[in-house]
């Protein structure tokens, strides 16, 4: 017993050991021993001997699970492993799909697609021009950028965009000077732009003997 008391005195005199003790630990040691206190009345003793009331397992389990889930969520968010839930983007805020119509100005294709949606979700924006008014650049990874210069009502309109779909309503090749636009068809095919009809069939129709054969 003397050795134990000497050991406790040395440990309690160590400031680092005392600093690491739980809050209220020293106060608990200074309280008088419950065994040496005044005798307990029979009613109090019976109250202490009553078994604790059972806790409903489902409510306790759900409470623990929600606490763990909340702790895991906050921890993973703190270290950047879990992104906060993003709010859904309304359909009105989504970018419209661009339809490039290659045709002359006699037909206004925009009015045929006005109010229409792709898959009931995306609006359709129509860009219309002739082959002679287009230039494009295609990329290995797919997609192409189209530069359009159109003269409308005496005003020159210049636009640059990436088409999501192409509708070809002009012949891409003619024997006339400056009427060979097969390079644009090849560029659209290289950029993997969907088309109606297929770009393969449009290129094949550039050669009348090939079509007749």
DSSP secondary structure string for all residues of 71-132: HHHHHHHHTTSSPPPPPPPPGGGSPPEEEEEE--TTS-GGGGSTT-EETTTEEEEEEEE-GG
Q: Bigger pLDDT: 79 or 117?
A: 117
pLDDT band with cut points at 50, 70 and 90 for residue 25: low
Q: What is the model's pLDDT at position 82? A: 45
Tokens of 72: 């895991």
Q: Bigger pLDDT: 110 or 152?
A: 110
pLDDT 10s digits, 39-57 = 555 555 555 555 555 555 4
Helix (H, G, I), strand (E, B) or coil at 151: strand
Whether the per-residue pLDDT at 78 is higher than 60: the answer is no
Query: In this structure, are residues 130 and 170 in contact, taking their beta carbons and an 8 Å threshold?
Result: yes
Whether the per-residue pLDDT at 108 is higher than 90: the answer is yes
- Structural domains in the chain, CATH included, are 93-207 (3.40.50.20)
Q: What is the model's pLDDT at position 47? A: 57
Whether the per-residue pLDDT at 102 is higher than 60: the answer is yes
Q: What is the model's pLDDT at position 193? A: 95
Q: Which residues does 52 contact at the CB level (< 8 Å), separation at least 6? A: none
Cα–Cα distance, 100 to 129 (Å, whole number): 8
pLDDT band with cut points at 50, 70 and 90 for residue 128: very high
pTM of the predicted structure, to 2 decimals: 0.56
Tokens of 196: 């109606």
Cα–Cα distance, 55 to 62 (Å, whole number): 12
Cα–Cα distance, 36 to 207 (Å, whole number): 112
Cα–Cα distance, 28 to 22 (Å, whole number): 11
Tokens of 183: 């390079």
Q: What is the mean pLDDT of residues 16-24?
A: 61
Determine which of 9-13, 61-65, 131-135 has the lowest per-residue pLDDT on average. 61-65
Cα–Cα distance, 164 to 172 (Å, whole number): 20
**Is the peptide bond preceding residue 171 cis, with omega within 30 degrees of 0?**
no
Mean of pLDDT over the chain: 76
Q: What is the model's pLDDT at position 75? A: 42
pLDDT 10s digits, 172-190 = 998 888 899 999 999 999 9
Query: In this structure, are residues 189 and 203 in contact, taking their beta carbons and an 8 Å threshold?
Result: yes
Cα–Cα distance, 99 to 101 (Å, whole number): 6
Proportion of the chain above pLDDT 90, given as a percent: 41
DSSP β-ladder status, 195-196 and 117-118: unpaired
Cα–Cα distance, 125 to 97 (Å, whole number): 6
Cα–Cα distance, 12 to 202 (Å, whole number): 92
Q: Which residues does 152 contact at the CB level (< 8 Å), separation at least 6? A: 105
DSSP β-ladder status, 117-118 and 122-129: antiparallel
């Amino acid at each position: 017993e003397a050795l134990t008391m000497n050991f406790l005195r040395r440990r309690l005199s160590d400031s680092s050991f005392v600093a690491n003790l739980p809050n209220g630990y020293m106060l608990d040691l200074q309280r008088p021993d419950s065994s040496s206190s005044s005798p307990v009345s029979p009613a109090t003793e019976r109250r202490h001997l009553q078994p604790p009331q059972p806790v409903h397992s489902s409510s306790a389990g759900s409470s623990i699970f929600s606490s763990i889930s909340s702790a895991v969520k906050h921890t993973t968010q703190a270290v950047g492993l879990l992104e906060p839930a993003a709010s859904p983007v309304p359909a009105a805020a989504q970018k419209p799909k661009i339809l490039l119509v290659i045709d002359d100005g006699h037909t206004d294709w925009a009015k045929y697609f006005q109010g229409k949606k792709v898959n009931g979700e995306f609006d359709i924006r129509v860009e219309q021009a002739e082959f002679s008014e287009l230039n494009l650049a295609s990329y290995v990874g797919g997609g192409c950028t189209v530069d359009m210069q159109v003269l409308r009502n005496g005003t020159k309109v210049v636009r640059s965009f990436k088409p999501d779909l192409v509708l070809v309503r002009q012949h891409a090749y003619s024997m006339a000077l400056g009427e060979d636009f097969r390079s644009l068809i090849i560029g659209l095919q290289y950029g993997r732009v969907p088309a109606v009809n297929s770009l393969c069939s449009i290129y094949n129709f550039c050669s009348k003997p090939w079509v007749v054969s």
